[in-house]
Amino acid sequence: MDDPFDLAGAEEPAPAPQPQSFPYLDSLNPPQRQAVETLEGAVLVLAGAGTGKTRVLTTRLVHLLNTGTARPWEVLAVTFTNKAAREMSDRVGQLIGNRVEGMWLGTFHAIGARILRRHAELLGLRSDFTILDDDDQQRLLKQLLEAEGIDPKRWPPRQLAGVIDGWKNKGLMPDRVPEGDSGFADGRGRDLYRMYQERLQTLNAVDFGDLLLLCIRLFQTAPDVLAEFQRRFRYILVDEYQDTNVAQYLWLRLLAQGAKNICCVGDDDQSIYGWRGAEVGNILKFESDFPGAKVIRLEQNYRSTAAVLKAASAVIANNEGRLGKTLWTDIPGGEKVTVIGVWDGEEEARTIGDEIESLHRKGERLSEMAILVRATFQMRSFEDRFIEIGVPYQVLGGVRFYQRQEIKDATCYLQIVAQPDNDIAFERIVNTPKRGLGDATVQMLHRAARGARQSLYRAAEALVETEELKPKARNTLKRLLDDFARWRQVKDDLDPAELAGMVLDESGYTEMWQRDKSPNAPTKLENLKEMVLAMEDHETLGAYLEHIALVQANDSSDDTEKVSIMTLHAAKGLEFDTVFLPGWEEEVFPHRRALEETGNAGLEEERRLAYVGITRARQRCFISHAANRRVFNEWRSGIPSRFVEELPADAVEVRAETGLYGASAQPGGAGSRQQSPGSFAYDAPWLQATQRLKERGYRAGGYARGKVIEGEAREVRTLENVRKFQKDERVFHQKFGYGLVARVDGNHLLIDFEKAGQKKVVAAFVDPA
């Protein structure tokens, strides 16, 4: 399953058998059935959350084959994530067996890579080109900036990468970028983009965006190649269509112009990749792009209880510019969504941990529980807590396995064995482990390489034959090159795992970590072992390298009894009986930068993310927010997310964390605040600061839909000015009691508490004694 792209069966002539009855159709509802049976022409399926989208997709695929309408190799099925591709492949495989093999089923990027490898020479690449990850990309851009005399401090490579990525997502080659676009480095962005592409070409490398962009160029410049693919892909299926960007859209449109049989499935309310160039507009334009297209709506939700669905619908209803669907369910009632307010991130982890244990004791399966966070940094507190109380868990996504330092290093060694001209990899490991080939030597290699217009590796080979290097460096370099030559000789006789073991040991890389006495060294060694183990699944080194370039390791869950922790983005397409949604605080969720960078559009995307989160739940949904959160080493106070207030009062139950704050929290509680009809609000003592803030107009204007965000951000800051405190002032704090202010630092106070000792706290939560 690692390589879903075998071309097996391409010449097989026999059409599939054509049974007369198709029992799988009987279990579909009428619109689902229509979506499955409308095989010809353009079809857009608007599938709300939990309406059986995956089922429709897989059944349709099966139906195409079973009716003899298409043979496996005539089908192109595209997804966004590897996880989705794998799931589709598995499910179709269960129904029709090995006929999946011949299908082109995979992510946009994986299929793009496959197309490019076949026709690389038409684009000035060799078919063994390397695919750079964003780390490599940024290194390369940094070199480029330095070479151009642009200060990487003032113009961060990271930002340039973002700009270039944006262009690529829009399908723009350097010559099509409008002059002076972007403003990067005083309008030099476009030139840098052009130079970057040239550099990639000489390196025989592509980045992620190129996997699509270069395909488009290929199709445009080689009509015969395009025609071949158009002939081949008679039936095209696209999952998560709402997340396509312009490049993907162009790519699809070119391919679909042949047979014009294209079926796209999507949900505008679940479009959460706008930051990656996704254009919800694509889904809105569908009917005009494919005249005569049939639009089918799936609105019956089979997943969630009425309560969960009601909460989700109420939140998403605050978005404008929706296609609009009315989801309904047969599943009656259900538990209300629980909203929990806690003091800080650690308490949040404790509370959720307790809840998980309690549910588990009642017989709920851990594998049916998930914690969905906005950003990966939120994961840590849960991991810490679960380790402490012994709850088994798994993290999906998160820090990417293949991007960890030690894995990346090891991979670079292997890449150079396979592709010596990979300069980026070479530079990374030439002095790792330290072997005395430092900056000066590398600079010399660079000069030699540039002079002779060849790769660093080849330049090194030439250089060790001369007297230019100092003897010590020369010998070391010679030894390294000899090592590589030796590994390269045996690479085809060993399987990848054996080769990796050999390279890691003989290069001294393993030894480097064995000697390292820092506390994380053992983990790194473990990871290396894990990597070697994983390589056993791959037939060739090339297959392994392709796999890690395109697939992130941690994206699939095993079925063991574990709680899952992942980002909201990673959770799309999944479902669980119980879902925990922590960190619903302004600035965390909706994320501050989403609002800053894209204003209302950003806010609406965040809201769709909230919608995705809630709709993952079948039975139970817990939403929590913390009053304080640790950011790096300082404490920041937060107020509940506006999304909390958008929850409908009658589908929500508020739980106060008793003990600390008393049990006074009630929906629509005793607070002086007015609440808008139908929305829900509550009081908890620690929310008093928030309360005060809101009474001063924060809520009235601040949460208004569509309002420009700057004003709001400034309002939030007034939280810090709730009350000024002086050094040595006597104060009272809800949790820690009485104390004396030892230091004032903006809104952060260092207080010597009489009972609790010295603590850093936020001024908003302290009252004068």
Residue 743 annotated as catalytic: no
- Residue from 325, 591, 620, 655 binding DNA (CB under 7 A): 591
Closest distance of CB 272 from DNA, Å: 7
Catalytic entry in 616, 620, 642, 694 = 616
Question: Which residue's CB is nearer to DNA, number 142 or number 759?
Answer: 142
Q: Structure tokens of 399? A: 């820090």
Question: Which residue's CB is nearer to DNA, number 383 or number 461?
Answer: 383
- Residue from 20, 466, 560, 633 binding DNA (CB under 7 A): 633
Catalytic entry in 239, 279, 409, 586 = 239
- Whole-angstrom distance, CA of residue 737 vs CA of residue 233: 71
Contact segment (CB under 7 A) with DNA among 49-57, 102-110, 698-706, 714-722 equals 102-110
374 contacts DNA (rule: CB under 7 A): yes
Q: What is the DSSP string of 154-185?
A: TS-HHHHHHHHHHHHHTT--GGGSPTT-S-TT
What beta strand segments (E) does 495-648 contain?
563-567, 576-581, 617-631, 634-637
Percentage helix, strand, coil for the chain under 3-state DSSP, each rounded to 5: 50, 15, 35
- Whole-angstrom distance, CA of residue 209 vs CA of residue 168: 6
Q: Comparing C-alpha atoms, which of 102, 387, 93 is closest to residue 235?
A: 102
109 contacts DNA (rule: CB under 7 A): yes
- Residue from 38, 257, 319, 431 binding DNA (CB under 7 A): 431
Question: Which residue's CB is nearer to DNA, number 194 or number 569?
Answer: 569
Residue 616 annotated as catalytic: yes
Three-state DSSP class for residue 367: helix
**585 phi and psi, to 5 degrees?**
-125, 150
Residue 53 annotated as catalytic: yes
What beta strand segments (E) does 330-463 contain?
337-344, 369-373, 393-395
Catalytic entry in 33, 53, 83, 190 = 53
- Residue from 124, 436, 522, 701 binding DNA (CB under 7 A): 436
Question: Which residue's CB is nearer to DNA, number 422 or number 552?
Answer: 552
Cβ within 8 Å of residue 372, ≥6 positions away: 566, 567, 568, 571, 579, 580, 581, 613, 616
Which 141-170 residues touch DNA, going by CB under 7 A?
Answer: 142, 152-153, 158
34 contacts DNA (rule: CB under 7 A): no
81 contacts DNA (rule: CB under 7 A): yes
In this structure, the chain runs to a length of 769
Q: Comparing C-alpha atoms, which of 326, 344, 355 is closest to residue 381?
A: 344
Question: Which residue's CB is nearer to DNA, number 236 or number 337?
Answer: 236
438 contacts DNA (rule: CB under 7 A): yes
The answer to whether the CB of 620 falls within 8 A of the CB of 578 is yes
Which 280-339 residues touch DNA, going by CB under 7 A?
Answer: none
Residue 239 annotated as catalytic: yes
Closest distance of CB 443 from DNA, Å: 8
637 contacts DNA (rule: CB under 7 A): no
377 contacts DNA (rule: CB under 7 A): yes
**731 phi and psi, to 5 degrees?**
-135, 165
Question: Which residue's CB is nearer to DNA, number 431 or number 666?
Answer: 431
- Residue from 339, 541, 550, 763 binding DNA (CB under 7 A): 550
Question: Which residue's CB is nearer to DNA, number 411 or number 552?
Answer: 552
Is the previous residue joined to 590 through a cis bond, with omega within 30 degrees of 0?
Answer: yes
Buried b (16+ CB within 10 A) or exposed e, 59-97: bbbbbbbbeebbbbbbbbbbbbbbbbbbbbbebbbebbe
621 contacts DNA (rule: CB under 7 A): no
The answer to whether the CB of 40 falls within 8 A of the CB of 261 is yes
Per-residue string for binding with DNA, 469-508, x by CB under 7 A? Answer: ----x-----------------------------------
Cβ within 8 Å of residue 341, ≥6 positions away: 624, 625, 626, 627, 640, 654, 656, 657, 665, 684, 686, 687
Q: What is the DSSP string of 491-517?
A: TTTS-HHHHHHHHHHHTTHHHHHHH--
Contact segment (CB under 7 A) with DNA among 28-36, 88-96, 370-378, 722-730 equals 370-378
Which 592-611 residues touch DNA, going by CB under 7 A?
Answer: 593-594, 597
- Interface ranges with DNA (CB under 7 A): 80-83, 107-110, 134-135, 142, 152-153, 158, 208-209, 272, 275-276, 374-377, 397, 405, 431, 434-441, 473, 550, 552, 555, 567, 569-570, 591, 593-594, 597, 631-633
- Catalytic machinery residues: 53-54, 239-240, 270, 616
